[in-house]
């Protein structure tokens, strides 16, 4: 079975030759972080995959749901293709036969399969010589993903009074990669606490991945995180991370880690163990199993064959219509 990663990107020729553990800045946006990195990791693992900007004649085609509208403009016979859409943090692509979702709450194991987003490439872990001391706290992400109460003068004043450094390694989201060249999302060498609390969402951010949690595990720094489904799905013990819902709870969590070196060190050791579940090598094997072993036999289902035979535009039915026809669960 041929497996192709489809990426509509003007730099496609250059991207085929990059090293994800060296050229991580090329993979800041979602489409590249998912599609490009999966291609590069699988190819490096010896799997027969290709990267293209046009659908191949047959086989499995993996694409980003953020590019589904652009794909509708492509005229192509889809009967011999199995379309696998990576949902990312946008809506479900009805043109897909199967989906890869980044949050377990979205998966059903039949048409939708959970896959963790890749950990931060080229990650520089915290210097172990720092021990259990807490001096620097960092948020690494786009500005819109940090709750407003942690962007205030009052929050910065509290940290300053406590003698703590506050690093907001952030820019406004843009598809232009240039402003993102200043970011150091991979560098945790002097970071003592990873901090990530999004603006309030009563549904607990069901579209978001748990990447910041397992980046903290890989970095060797405890994490203080907001209430999110993805984090909770990964949680196995109180040592995995500390959850907070307000600035007051965040201050209490910081004080705990500052004043309890045994807790700090226990969280670091626990993170080292948990990180092994989400290494790039482990995820490469999960991708390979899904694309080469799990999905192809499922595509022989009569309903999927019918769905595959539809042109892309015909697949863009409403969710209600698709379910009424028994084409989507």
| pLDDT one-digit tens code per residue, 85-96 | 999 888 888 888
Q: Is the pLDDT of residue 76 over 70?
A: no
From residue 50, alpha-carbon distances to 115, 145, 197 in Å are: 20, 33, 37
Residue 325 is predicted with a pLDDT of 61
Q: What's the pLDDT band for 319 if we cut at 50, 70, 90? A: low
The more confidently predicted of residues 299 and 315 is 299
**What's the rounded mean pLDDT across residues 62-77?**
82
Q: What is the pLDDT of residue 173?
A: 47
High-pLDDT (> 90) share of the chain, %: 69
What is the pLDDT, as a whole number, of residue 321?
Answer: 65
Higher pLDDT, 96 or 315: 96
Q: What mean pLDDT is predicted for residues 168-179?
A: 54
Residue 180 has pLDDT above 50, yes or no: no
pLDDT at residue 318 greater than cutoff 70: no
CA atoms within 13 A on the CB side of 311: 7
Residues 128-278: name the CATH superfamily.
Glycogen Phosphorylase B; (3.40.50.2000)
Closest CA relative to residue 7, chosen from 63, 55, 73: 63
Q: How far apart are CA 92 and CA 81, in angstroms?
A: 19
Residue 177 confidence (pLDDT) above 70: no
Average pLDDT over residues 233-246: 97
pLDDT at 178: 40
**Range list for CATH 3.40.50.2000 in the chain:** 128-278
């Amino acid at each position: 079975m041929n497996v192709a990663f489809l990426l509509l990107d003007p730099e496609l020729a250059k991207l085929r030759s990059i090293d994800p553990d060296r050229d991580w800045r090329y993979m800041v946006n979602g489409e590249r972080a998912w599609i490009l990195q999966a291609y590069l990791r699988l190819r490096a693992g010896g799997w027969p995959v290709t990267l293209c900007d046009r659908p191949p004649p047959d086989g499995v085609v993996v694409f980003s749901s953020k590019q589904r509208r652009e794909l509708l403009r492509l005229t192509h016979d889809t009967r011999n293709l199995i379309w696998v859409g990576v949902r990312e943090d946008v809506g479900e692509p009805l043109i897909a036969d199967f989906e890869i979702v980044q949050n377990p709450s979205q998966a059903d194991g039949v048409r939708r399969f959970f896959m963790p987003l890749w950990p931060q490439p080229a990650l520089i872990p915290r210097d172990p010589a720092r021990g259990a001391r807490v001096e620097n706290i960092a948020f690494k992400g786009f500005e819109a993903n940090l709750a407003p109460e942690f962007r205030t003068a009052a929050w910065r004043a509290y940290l300053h009074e406590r003698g703590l450094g506050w690093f907001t390694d952030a820019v406004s989201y843009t598809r232009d990669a240039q402003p993102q060249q200043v970011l150091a999302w991979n560098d945790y060498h002097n970071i003592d606490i990873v901090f990530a609390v999004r603006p309030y969402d009563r549904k607990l951010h069901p579209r978001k991945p748990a990447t910041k949690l397992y980046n903290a595990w890989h970095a060797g720094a405890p994490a203080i995180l907001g209430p999110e489904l993805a984090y909770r799905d990964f949680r196995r013990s109180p040592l995995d991370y500390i959850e907070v819902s307000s600035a007051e709870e965040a201050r209490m969590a910081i004080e705990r880690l500052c004043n309890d070196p045994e807790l700090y060190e226990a969280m670091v050791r626990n993170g080292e163990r948990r990180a092994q579940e989400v290494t790039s090598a482990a995820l490469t094997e999960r991708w390979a199993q899904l694309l080469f072993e799990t999905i192809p036999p499922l595509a022989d289902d009569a309903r999927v064959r019918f769905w595959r035979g539809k042109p892309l535009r015909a697949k863009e039915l409403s969710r209600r219509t698709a379910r009424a026809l028994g084409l989507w669960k």
